[in-house]
Chains A and B, each alone.
Chain A
């Protein structure tokens, strides 16, 4: 499903805008990440995209179909194509996973035979088959989160919207989630995901948008963003066999910033930020060698999404 957000905005009190002026295009079949601190407006944006909340201004169009500005498109046809996991969606504690999924499957009007096979499929996908008859109140937090995500995939939506889906998942669960999302995306589903854990999104998303104080600060392809913000902030890792003190003295005289220093296999590894491009690093290396510092290896570390985010934001909360 191809999405276009046109000047989307929402205010709850008429003064402060939870989010405003969002203009985004999310390509069909992509994985889109929404990044931002708590209170930045991510959940509000996702609710509006999921059609469960009217925007105060602007609109969202789904494959070119949109409601008038200030209204959510609430047609059954569109909603059957969306799977949405909102922030803080609770379960019915006395319902078992199978019963819970059956309720939602019927709400999405799945054919009875199709519904039972879909329940079995998602329970197996999320490793919940053994817990199919256990009341949700007795499931662990991670299992409950998996069940909530499973509910969103039950009706095989064209657009999957997940607000902080990795909350409560253990490392294995997170890894499984990434695998599942890739698999779902490979089947053509557009995925929109928000998360605080940027490493989760780094190699998962095709596109990201960073939200600060209710505004999109930057958006685009992940690789493009990293490349764009990598230019002004080159990070290297030096492995030194001797002359660590001399190295620190020389680095102190330059504009370099030592991010980290660690002993690894009998050598010292320094992680440096060296502004000024590769020529500045070449000059620094020459100085180190001239001072007798024994450099056995040097390598450039490519920036990650997290670095771009840190660079762009000071994590201001609305």
Chain B
């Protein structure tokens, strides 16, 4: 075993042992059996039950029943009673009494339409003379004399021969699913894949976040920090415990997923789905740990769990909704960047022929998914570093300058990936991606503020350096936009709009540094809220000016003078109050 693997094993062993102690290991295996059974039974139900027929039809696993009935010139009964009823209807039809059942009538109408079309010359040119003759005879038979209406029929002489072989009287059979063994395995794999996805994307972050919240709230984390495990070991180890139990519970469905993927013939899509699910899960797990560690000090584990469950549920629902609609022109990029969404999309591509229809997922090309997945993996790695440093509570920043730059590049790339493909003007690409990037960029900036366990008054806040780094991050984003977006309208950008945007972005950065570096009172938080609203308003004004280019630089030009004065005061007082708050807390500002 390599030293690195040995270290990893040493870090995970205590927590895996703890998670699987006593009955817990058996419970995990029992869960594996139950979930495997659920996958099997769910798959069998999906593949063969009458109740799941609409689903199978929607998923394009089988043709619609009415089409199948026409194609096979057979009417299918779901129950014994229905079969008896249909047989009576068919018998009456054979006796020339007409079709009393709607479904029988539709099938017969198709048959009669086909026979009639021989006379119109449709089949006649391609069919054998004997078939044409027989069809013309049949068209005038008592069965076709009733008004059956007209219906589209398969343009196939062989089908016409089948109809004639049955003397225009449809067969009656009990319905059975047309899916074979491979399709059944695919259905089982689909259910199993959904279980694995839900387990890794929702259950794992939730359990790991809950555990972290409990450790922090009950103060059981501190004794662990005094052991021979490093902070990095603890960050990884604490996640490994619940993950081990979840991995055992999901082992059965995972195997069934693999079998289903092979049976579906889309092993590549399945592998992509697995990688995507693992990357999204890693990011969500680390994020849940960080949130739980931050909130767990002030809030009970129950509250933290509710917050996490709500957030994960919202992400999952949004991801599933975006993926199921196939990632349209507006949302194709979001599918690639929203954790779990690409997993659902690739899962669909693996198992559902629906996804192979034209247009499905066309706006989420492989490259976008690869970028999104890679970005999530990098962010998960950086998140682990942040966790490690949070556990250490060192007074340096949670990310080094290089790490923050990497995070910025990745986030900017993901923001660009998320921009809809129909957006092709430089200003629109820049503004949309900047809007998507600003929030995550504040998180990176927070991780650069050196606080740790040092009291606020003893902190040295390198404000100039932090703002310079923030500026560099924004420049990196601008450069990336310049590289990927057409720059034809670059010269038309409004300078006034850029100034408004600059103010909004600067104030957001100042708010982040101020909030992170010094404690905030209730009044300060209220003021933060007002400044935040002002920043968003300024961003909106700036964006409108940049996009339009003809608006007034001073948006309060037509407003009452008092409103204009308040606006100007806000522009000055907002950033100044944040700077003053930083200085008043006693920290050294450089």
Residues of A within 8 A of B (CB): 11-15, 50-54, 56, 70-71, 74, 76, 79-80, 82, 84, 86, 88-92, 95, 99, 102-104, 106-109, 151
CA distance A104 to B226 in the complex (A): 10
B196 to chain A, nearest CB (A): 28
Q: Is B524 an interface residue (CB 8 A)?
A: no
Report the minimal beta-carbon distance from A196 to chain B, rounded to whole angstroms. 21
A107 close to B227 (CB less than 8 A): yes
A198–B527 CA distance with the chains assembled, in angstroms? 52
| Residues on B facing A (Cβ under 8 Å) | 10, 13-15, 17-18, 21-22, 218-220, 222-231, 392-395, 452-458, 586
Tally inter-chain residue pairs, CB-CB below 8 A.
87
Closest residue on chain A to residue B237 by CB atoms: A107
Chain B residue contacts of A102, Cβ below 8 A: 14, 17, 21
In the assembled complex, the CB of B450 is this many whole angstroms from the nearest CB of chain A, namely 12
Is A54's CB under 8 angstroms from B453's CB?
yes
Do the beta carbons of B458 and A14 come within 8 Å of each other?
Answer: yes
Given A54-B394, A74-B230, A109-B228: A15 and B457 within 8 A (CB)?
A: yes
Contacts of A13 in B (CB 8 A): 455-457
State in angstroms the CA–CA spacing of A80 and B233 once bound together.
Answer: 15
Which secondary structure dominates where chain B touches chain A? loop
Give chain A residues whose Cβ lies under 8 Å from the Cβ of B18: 92, 95, 99, 103
Known: A54-B394, A56-B458, A99-B21. A76 touches B230 (CB 8 A): yes
Partner of B226, one of A51, A88, A92: A51
Evaluate contact between A99 and B222: CB separation under 8 angstroms: no
Q: Across the interface, do B457 and A14 meet the contact criterion of CB distance under 8 Å?
A: yes
Residues of B within 8 Å of A151, CB to CB, are 223
Q: Is the CB of A76 within 8 A of B586?
A: no
In the complex, which residues of chain A have a beta carbon less than 8 angstroms from the beta carbon of B222? 52, 86, 89
Nearest to B457 among chain A residues (CB) is A14
Tell me, in angstroms, the Cα distance from A15 to B230 when the chains sit together.
Answer: 31
Q: Considering the chains assembled together, what is the distance between the CA atoms of A88 and B221 in angstroms?
A: 12
A305 CA to B223 CA, complexed, in Å = 31
Name which residue of chain A comes closest to B224, CB basis: A107
Other-chain residue from B220, B453, B458 in contact with A90 (beta carbon distance below 8 A): B220
Question: Smallest CB–CB gap between B411 and chain A, Å?
Answer: 30
B228's contact among A12, A53, A76, A91, by CB below 8 Å, is which?
Answer: A76
| Minimum CB–CB distance for A39 against chain B, Å | 17
For the complex with contacts A14-B457, A56-B454, A103-B15, 8 further pairs of A-B residues with Cβ separation under 8 Å are A11-B455, A14-B455, A14-B586, A54-B393, A56-B455, A76-B228, A89-B219, A106-B13
Instruction: Tell me which residues across on chain B come within 8 A of A80, comparing CB atoms.
Output: 228
Task: Give bound CA distance, A102 to B18, whole Å.
Answer: 9
Q: How far is the CA of A191 from the CA of B544 in the complex (A)?
A: 69
- Bound-complex Cα distance A167 to B224 (A): 21
Question: Which chain B residues border A106 with CB–CB below 8 Å?
Answer: 10, 13-14, 17
User: Closest CB of chain B to A208's CB: distance in Å?
Assistant: 24
How many Å lie between the Cα of A32 and that of B70 in the bound state?
Answer: 94
List 22 interface pairs A-B (beta carbons < 8 Å), by A numbering: A11-B455, A13-B456, A14-B456, A14-B458, A15-B457, A50-B226, A51-B226, A53-B393, A54-B394, A70-B395, A74-B230, A74-B231, A84-B223, A91-B220, A92-B18, A102-B17, A102-B21, A104-B223, A104-B227, A106-B10, A106-B14, A109-B10
CB contacts (< 8 Å) of B220 on chain A: these are: 89-92
| Whole-angstrom distance between the Cβ of A109 and the nearest chain B Cβ | 5
Are B455 and A12 in touch, CB under 8 angstroms?
Answer: yes
- State the Cβ distance, B55 to closest chain A Cβ, in Å: 42
- Assuming A86-B222, A90-B219, A95-B18, is B228 touching A107 (CB within 8 A)? yes
> Across the interface, which residues of B come within 8 angstroms of A82, CB to CB?
226
Q: Find chain B residues with CB under 8 A from A76 CB.
A: 228-230
Instruction: Enumerate chain B residues within 8 angstroms of A15, measured Cβ to Cβ.
Output: 455, 457
User: What residue in chain B is nearest A89 (Cβ atoms)?
Assistant: B223
Complex-state Cα separation, A15 to B455, whole angstroms = 9
> Can you name the residue of chain A whose Cβ is closest to the Cβ of B225?
A52
Chain A residues lying within 8 Å of B226, measured Cβ to Cβ, are 50-52, 79, 82, 84, 86
CA distance A197 to B292 in the complex (A): 38
Q: Output the nearest chain B residue to A57 by Cβ-Cβ distance.
A: B458
Q: Taking the nearest CB of chain B, how far is it from the CB of A110, in angstroms? A: 9
Task: Give every chain B residue within 8 A of A92 (Cβ-Cβ).
Answer: 18, 220
Known: A88-B219, A89-B219, A99-B21. A79 touches B227 (CB 8 A): yes
Closest residue of chain A to B18 (Cβ to Cβ) is A103
Which residues of B lie under 8 Å from residue A74 when comparing CB positions? Answer: 230-231, 392
Given the contacts A11-B458, A92-B220, A108 and B227 also touching, CB distance less than 8 Å? yes
A91 to B222: give the CA distance in the assembly, Å: 12
Cβ-closest 3 pairs across A and B: A14-B457, A14-B455, A106-B14
Nearest chain B CB to A161 CB, angstrom units: 9
Q: How far is the CB of A12 from chain B (nearest CB, A)?
A: 6
- Please give the distance in Å from B521's CB to the nearest CB on chain A: 15
Rounded to whole angstroms, the CA-CA distance of A99 and B226 in the bound complex is 18
By the criterion CB–CB under 8 Å, are B393 and A86 in contact? no
The residue on B at minimum CB distance from A55 is B453
With both chains docked as a complex, state the minimum distance between the C-beta of B476 and any C-beta of chain A, in angstroms.
Answer: 32
Collect the chain A residues with CB atoms within 8 Å of residue B218's CB: 90
Residue from A53, A88, A104 in contact with B453 in the complex, judged by beta carbons closer than 8 Å: A53
A70 to B392, CA, bound (A): 13
Q: How far is the CA of A89 from the CA of B220 in the complex (A)?
A: 7
- Give the complex CA separation of A82 and B227 in angstroms: 8
Selected contact of B17 from candidates A12, A88, A103, CB within 8 Å: A103
**Complex-state Cα separation, A60 to B223, whole angstroms:** 19
Query: Which residues on the B side are within 8 Å of A11 (C-beta)?
Result: 455, 458
CA distance A11 to B223 in the complex (A): 21
Bound-complex Cα distance A11 to B456 (A): 11
| Bound: A86/B453 CA distance, A | 18
Which residues of A are found within 8 Å of B10, using beta-carbon distances? Answer: 106, 109
A267 to B161 alpha-carbon distance, docked (Å): 132
Is there an interface contact between B14 and A103, defined as CB atoms closer than 8 Å? yes
Could you say which residues of chain A place their CB within 8 Å of the CB of B231? Answer: 74
CA separation between A102 and B456, bound complex, in Å? 39
Which single residue of chain B is at the shortest CB-CB distance from A53?
B453
Bound Cα distance A20, B497 (Å): 54
Report how far A1 CA is from B315 CA in the complex, Å: 52
Closest chain A residue to B218 by CB distance? A90
**Bound CA–CA A311/B521 (angstroms):** 44
- Give complex CA distance A104, B393 in Å: 22
Q: Given the complex, which residues of A lie within 8 Å of B14, measured CB to CB?
A: 102-104, 106-107
